[in-house]
């Protein structure tokens, strides 16, 4: 998938005009890129559209219009666009109650290393996590992780030939799995070369 360039972005004034329609488009697009694993963990699969939205929003919020600032945002966000042989996802651990969340993040330490994808009967793939910076310490994990699932040619081929797509978590304190529906499966296949 092509990385974003400054020329792909709208200037602040133009984005302001396009924002309502683009936001509606992105919300609909994200629905097909969201996988809930159990009641408290969600994977949001990034692509060029979701990242363009993130960059445009950052430029808008921060009122960034200078070339250097735009390039800095692109440098930060472009690594989240999949490369054709992988998926990149934001992992959210979601608990509404702050006290419950604090306890859960302590219990779920290491959860990012226990998430998996399985295509058909092929071996599970565990993602590379938080390659930008460490998001866990000795006592707790973070509520947000960034994941990269690297797939083999055989897995990509099996998926394109109709193999089931399953995501799960094998953490001792959180064991859940889900097989995604065809709409999500097809959206994620579109990320692969």
Tally of structural domains, the chain: 2
**109 and 55 together in one domain:** no
Q: Where are the alpha helices (DSSP H) in 40-132?
A: 48-62, 67-77, 98-107
122 in the same domain as 41: yes
Print the domain residue range for 1.
1-31+48-81
CA–CA gap between residue 136 and residue 183 (Å, rounded): 33
Residues 136 and 58 in one domain: no
Same domain, 94 and 130: yes
Where do the DSSP E strands lie in the chain?
Answer: 34-37, 41-45, 86-93, 115-119, 128-129, 144-150, 165-171, 174-179
Whether 99 and 185 share a structural domain: yes
Domain of 180, CATH number, reads 2.60.40
- Over its C-alpha atoms, the chain yields an Rg (Å, rounded) of 18
Question: Three-class SS of residue 145?
Answer: strand
Strands (E), 76-143: 86-93, 115-119, 128-129
Q: What are the pLDDT tens digits along the chain (193 aa)?
A: 689 999 999 999 999 999 999 999 999 999 999 999 999 999 999 999 999 999 999 999 999 999 999 999 999 999 999 999 999 999 999 999 999 999 999 999 999 999 999 999 999 999 998 766 565 667 788 999 999 999 999 999 999 999 999 999 999 999 999 999 999 999 999 999 7
Rounded CA separation 14/5 (Å): 17
pTM attached to this predicted model: 0.90
Residues 13, 71 within the same domain: yes
Residues 150 and 56 in one domain: no
């Amino acid at each position: 998938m092509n990385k974003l360039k400054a020329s792909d972005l709208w200037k602040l004034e133009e984005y302001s005009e396009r924002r309502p329609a683009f936001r509606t488009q992105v919300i609909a697009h994200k629905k097909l890129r969201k996988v809930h694993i159990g009641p408290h963990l969600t994977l949001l699969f990034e692509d060029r559209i979701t990242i363009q939205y993130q960059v445009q929003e950052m430029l808008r919020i921060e009122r960034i219009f200078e070339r250097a600032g735009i390039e800095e945002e692109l440098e930060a966000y472009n690594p989240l666009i999949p490369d054709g042989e992988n998926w990149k996802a934001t992992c959210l651990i979601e608990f509404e109650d702050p006290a419950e969340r604090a306890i859960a993040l302590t219990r779920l330490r290491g959860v990012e290393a226990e998430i998996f994808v399985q295509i058909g009967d092929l071996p599970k793939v565990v993602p590379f996590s938080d390659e930008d910076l460490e998001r866990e310490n000795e006592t707790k994990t973070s509520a947000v992780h960034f994941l990269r699932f690297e797939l083999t040619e055989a897995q990509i081929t099996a998926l394109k030939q109709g193999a089931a797509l399953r995501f799960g978590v094998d953490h001792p304190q959180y064991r859940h799995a889900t097989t995604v529906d065809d709409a999500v499966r097809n959206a994620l296949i579109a990320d692969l070369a």
